[in-house]
Amino acid sequence: MQMALPVLIISMLLFFVLFFGIGFILNMLLRMTWLMAIIYPIVAILIIDNVRFLEYFTHSGYAFGQLGKKISALMAPDIMILLSGFIGALVAGIVMKLLRKKGYRMF
């Protein structure tokens, strides 16, 4: 199944803004600059996979096997959307570093 170009662009923009915003808010509240960039792979796995998170600990062979199948089945638009979310999380960290460097203490 193919994705229309406007849908792809809007999806990428939404993921970028969503994870930039979440990362920015987490940075303000917890003062941990790269927290969202560290948590993002877990969030991406939860988005990609249908396996419950607890099964990665109880039935890890099955869960990681399913994850491998799902990741290998991702199409280019899916990868682009997920990467735009990760870039949003990274940009949030960079913005927080710049704001702190310029003297904003609340950040």
Write the DSSP string, 2-40: ---HHHHHHHHHHHHHHHHHHHHHHHHHH--TTHHHHHH
Residue 4 lies in a domain: no
In this predicted model, what pLDDT tens digit does every residue of 13-42 receive, in sequence order?
999 999 999 998 988 888 888 888 899 999
Residue 107 lies in a domain: no
Residue 65 lies in a domain: yes
Residue 2 lies in a domain: no
Domain total for the chain?
1
Domain that holds residue 41: 10-98
Residue 86 lies in a domain: yes
pLDDT tens across the length of the chain (107 residues)? 677 999 999 999 999 999 999 998 988 888 888 888 899 999 999 899 888 889 989 999 999 999 999 999 999 999 999 999 999 999 999 999 898 888 887 65
Residue 1 lies in a domain: no
Distance in angstroms (rounded) separating the CA atoms of residues 29 and 45? 25
Residue 106 lies in a domain: no
Residue 74 lies in a domain: yes
